[in-house]
Structure 1
Amino acid sequence: MTIGERIKARRDELGMSQEELAHKIGYKSKTSINKIELGIQELRQSKIKQIADALQTTPAYIMGWKETEEDQQLKKCRELFKKCHGSDAYDVVSLYLTLDESDKNVVKTMIESLLSAEKYSVKKESLNA
């Protein structure tokens, strides 16, 4: 199986369109993804990890290499996190981890601000009861 075939297969497993994948990794349109999947365009080294993350897999899988034990453990952790908290929560955490420290602090402050709203304090009180 080629790199492009593995990308397409994983994208199909996730029910993700070429356009969605392109958007997640910073391409303006699906054209580049289509060309990569067809083997017309080489996959740039700088995009391998981004594509693997967007497809919730490892760079080793994308490249067709044997996955290391660390890769397998990482995959299990991702699956467990998604099972416990859902794919949306996983996506939010993944995006958060790509931010620099300054932007992480901004996000943390925003979340703390949101949680100070009355609708959340009622939930906190009922949890503590």
Structure 2
Amino acid sequence: MIWREKGGTGIMALFEIDESSGLPVWVQLRNRFVYLIKTGHYQPGDQLPSVRTLAAEAAINYNTVSKVYVNLESDGYVESIRGRGVFVRDIGSRGDDVLSVADTEIEGCIRRCLALGMSIDDVKLRLIDVAHRIQDEKS
């Protein structure tokens, strides 16, 4: 499913939900918003679509979109102003960017492994084995 927004240069695909992904829809949407904020598509002060508008146009549950916005606010990417909307904050150069991106990637990998039927203990062992293999390759 793709949500599109009209831009100055035409129609731009902003969100594509991968139904076959092991990642929950809210995580996919959150990651996309973070990407759009970090890459400058959304500038500090820009207003995000309302929860109702995004939920309706993207055919995503209202509570899912609301959860994304709450998460983005708690992580400091946006600010919610009662009665006005949700606005992008100036994130500057965040020192935790690398860790945040790494955590998102690792979480996605783990969720995909769990979707394959692996136990969390099996996933941990595989991650350690792969990390050791990569370390050995660099040595």
TM class by shorter chain equals: 0.3 to 0.5
More helix by percentage: 1
Query: Greater RCO between the two (CA within 8 Å, min separation 6)?
Result: 2
State TM-score, norm by structure 1.
Answer: 0.36
